[in-house]
Amino acid sequence: MTKNKENKTIKVLSTQGSELGQMNLEGSVFGVEPNIHVMYLALKRQLNNARAGLACTKTRAEVSGGGKKPWKQKGTGRARAGSLRSPLFRGGGVIFGPKPRSYETTLPQKARKLALKSALSAKFDIITVVKDFSEITEAKTKAMVKVLNDLGAKGKTLIIADLNADENKNLALSARNIPSVKLLLPSNLNVKDLVEADTIIATESAINSITERLAK
């Protein structure tokens, strides 16, 4: 059974790195004991569901040719054969080869929520909360690089924000040319991106949205 910890407090920063205030984080979302097994199951589900499953080979019934018996049954000294499309011959069919299939797996909603809570709690120390990205007044990569430097972002950076909000209107265009940055809507939060991130930057509204979704 997962034990909830007490609520946590985190600083709210501007994109220039100055402290604007503090906000309380729900202990039931950001302070649980990480359940590694459930996180593994959620990650496995995500990777499986992303697979296309389009690999396909032809059986001996599907390859072309092979209608005529290649040589007579007896007297040639060769093994008997009925068709050159047999898997024994070059160009023949494939035995038990792959066919298009779905790799989709399921996981109960409660388990998926627990996996997200576990990932958020395990990564709590690398989470930075900003008020918003309204200080990025023009869509330029240079402006985004300055913000990342001011916030001390390192390595793979995951930014969680509502990209359609007016205060974040220049965020997507400013960050799209930076290979180490990935943008994510709060509604698309997933275990894989959280686990892979070295730095997580989230807006205050995104944190509230995630809390409202997972605290139920």
* Residue 119 confidence (pLDDT): 96
Q: In whole angstroms, what separates CA 152 from the centre of its chain? A: 24
The per-residue pLDDT for 8 is: 87
- Those residues of the chain that have pLDDT short of 50 are 1-2
User: How far is it, in rounded angstroms, from Cα 188 to Cα 196?
Assistant: 15
For the sheet with 199-203, list strands across it: 19-25, 8-13, 127-130, 199-203, 157-160, 181-184
Q: What is the pLDDT of residue 3?
A: 53
As a whole number of angstroms, the distance between CA 104 and CA 127 comes to 31
Q: What is the pTM of this model?
A: 0.84
Query: In the Cβ-directed half-sphere of 41, how many Cα atoms lie within 13 Å?
Result: 16
Q: How many CB atoms lie within 10 A of CB 94?
A: 14
Q: Does the structural domain 8-51+107-214 have CATH classification 3.40.1370.10?
A: yes
For the chain, the structural domain boundaries read 8-51+107-214, 52-102
pLDDT at 7: 85
Query: Which amino acid does the sequence have at 214?
Result: L
